[in-house]
Amino acid sequence: MQTTICQLKTPTAQEVRHQSNNLSKSYTLLAPIYDLFVNRASKAMRAASLATLPARPGMVLLAGVGTGLDLPHLPAHHRYVGVDLTGAMLRRSLPRAGRLDFRPVQGDVHRLPFADASFDAVVAHLILAVVPQPALCLAEISRVLKPGGEALILDKFLRRNQKAPLRRLLNPLARRVATQLDVVFEDLLDASPGLALRDDSPVLAGGWFRRIRLVRR
Ligand SMILES: C[S@@+](CC[C@H](N)C(=O)[O-])C[C@H]1O[C@@H](n2cnc3c(N)ncnc32)[C@H](O)[C@@H]1O
């Protein structure tokens, strides 16, 4: 019988810095046109994901907030912190905050600048498949969540052993300029035992995009 061993590829610190620099440069160039390509296609799945935010007022982290496309869908009773590496993306989020209590922070989701158990919920839309170390990013999300807090994830993930030859072929280029195409969510979750799966629903592109809800144990 053939056994498949799943291993997360862990880039070196230097590779992560290099890839993060490339991504920041790319997103600086993409910032003026990002909404044009992403807003309409992602509106319904964003709204569905954010509708599951807790009813009780709390602190909510938007990890990789980008141009703030989530902000118009958010209820006003929470306090929000939006972290992003790219100033040009983060600046575009500000006008979208409107009446929300929203604090933008330029920072890295691999090293969130917050104490353990600071947030009641973390929104991670289109960020885990983007960053060079998604397992580290999810571990950081787990660290900053309070016990019982929830992570709302929306992203494109492969299944274990899914072949997806075109996506794997395009991945070396895509990961340099915008996003990885071959991240397996189950590998990330296995590396963060503090998080338990609550919901996992296909939302777009034949289930490539998934809406996932996790709870901090
Ligand atoms: C595909 S966009 C998603 C933006 C937003 N969450 C959305 O749903 O539209 C990815 C964002 O992640 C940001 N990003 C990339 N690497 C990051 C990192 N290491 N730390 C924080 N943000 C990062 C980029 O600047 C970009 O704004």
Average pLDDT for residues 52-65, to the nearest whole number? 97
Q: pLDDT tens digits, residue range 142-181?
A: 999 999 999 999 999 998 888 888 888 888 888 887 888 8
Model confidence, pTM? 0.93
- 2-11 as b/e: b if 16+ CB within 10 A: eeeeeeeeee
How far is C-alpha 106 from the geometric centre of its chain's CA atoms? 15
- The answer on pLDDT for 6 being more than 70 is no
- The CA 117 to ligand 1 mean position distance, Å, reads 22
Nearest atom within ligand 1 for CA of residue 110: 19
Long-range contacts, 33-42 (Cβ 8 Å, 24+): 34/66, 34/67, 34/89, 34/92, 35/67, 35/69, 35/92, 38/69, 38/126, 39/69, 41/204, 42/69, 42/125, 42/126, 42/154
CA atoms within 13 A on the CB side of 34: 21
Burial class for 213, CB neighbours closer than 10 Å (0-12, 13-18, 19+): middle
- The CA 3 to ligand 1 mean position distance, Å, reads 35
- Pocket, ligand 1, Cβ cutoff 6 A: 20, 23, 27, 38, 64-66, 69, 83-86, 89, 108-110, 125-127, 130-131
Query: Distance between CA 35 and CA 151 in Å, rounded?
Result: 24
Among protein residues, the one whose CA lies closest to atom 20 of ligand 1: 108
Nearest atom within ligand 1 for CA of residue 178: 1
Contact between 74 and 80 under an 8 Å Cβ cutoff? The reply is yes
Q: Across-strand partners of 209?
A: 156, 204
Q: Which domains does the chain have, with CATH numbers?
A: 13-216 (3.40.50.150)
Q: pLDDT tens digits, residue range 101-112?
A: 999 999 999 999
- The CA 4 to ligand 1 mean position distance, Å, reads 32
Query: Distance between CA 114 and CA 38 in Å, rounded?
Result: 29
Nearest atom within ligand 1 for CA of residue 89: 27
Q: Across-strand partners of 103?
A: 81
Residue 9: the pLDDT is: 61
Q: How confident is the model at residue 198 (pLDDT cuts 50, 70, 90)?
A: very high
Among protein residues, the one whose CA lies closest to atom 17 of ligand 1: 85
Residue 116: strand, helix, or coil: coil
* 153/18: higher pLDDT: 153
Q: pLDDT tens digits, residue range 128-152?
A: 999 999 999 999 999 999 999 999 9
Average pLDDT for residues 181-187, to the nearest whole number? 95
Residue 42: strand, helix, or coil: helix
Average pLDDT for residues 5-18, to the nearest whole number? 69
- The answer on pLDDT for 33 being more than 60 is yes
- The answer on pLDDT for 2 being more than 60 is no
- The answer on pLDDT for 216 being more than 90 is yes
Q: For the chain, what is the mean pLDDT? A: 93
- The CA 116 to ligand 1 mean position distance, Å, reads 22
Q: How confident is the model at residue 190 (pLDDT cuts 50, 70, 90)?
A: very high
